[in-house]
Amino acid sequence: MNEVISTIIDWAIRIGISIVILLVAKWLAGLFYKAFMKFAEKTSVASTQYQKTMRTLFNLAFYALAAFIIISVLFKNLAPILAGLGVSGIIVGLAVKEPLDNFICGILIMLNKLIYEGEAVDIGGTSGGVQEIKLNHVLIKTWDGKLVTIPSRNVWAATIVHFWPENIRRNDLTVGVSYSSDLNKVMKIPRSLSTLMKIYM
């Protein structure tokens, strides 16, 4: 009976320590993220346009470190666990090949600075503003208000068009008129509209 109680207390302590480690990892991730973004703003060592993505990277790094520490706290003998992870790692690696491809392509997108958050782009025929760049996909908010999720590997392989960062852009609009229409009157309409736009802009 005493042995059972001792085991329960031992595991309770280990679980408590694991929770504390997880909370500390979360706190450190936020602390390092804020410090890094301040450093990036002052030195331009990294683009501040990846704010949401950088937060995800810091969280991932510190949570992964916390996971290794927690495993070492919970299990004293790691040899069987490491052996099991070695075999299961191969199986899991084959099963998650596509998410892993997206993960790697997400990192490559950021390293090569292909797109930025808030930028107006066209990715493989999908046009809009870049809402957020995550590790495995990119969120695009289209001009008509739709939120489109594009896998990172598709973004990496797609043709990316960057729109000019000015307020004025050129749009082509095809307008048809009847053959019997007076062309002189027709040509006056777009000129009148252009004049009105200049007045109100």
- What six digits make up the tokens of 189? 């309409």
CA distances, 51 to each of 21, 55, 105 (Å): 25, 6, 18
Q: What is the pLDDT of residues 168-189, one digit of tens each?
A: 566 677 777 788 888 788 777 7
Could you tell me the pLDDT band of residue 22, with boundaries at 50, 70 and 90? confident
**CB half-sphere exposure, 88, CA atoms < 13 A:** 6
Contacts of 171 (CB under 8 A, 6+ apart): none
Could you tell me the pLDDT band of residue 32, with boundaries at 50, 70 and 90? confident
Cβ pair 105, 152 in contact under 8 A = yes
pTM value > 0.75 = no
Please tell me what DSSP assigns to residue 88: H
Q: What is the pLDDT of residues 71-91, one digit of tens each?
A: 777 776 655 655 555 555 555
Q: Cα dihedral sign for 174, 141, 128, 135?
A: negative
Nearest Cα to 123, choosing from 165, 151, 87, 158?
Answer: 158
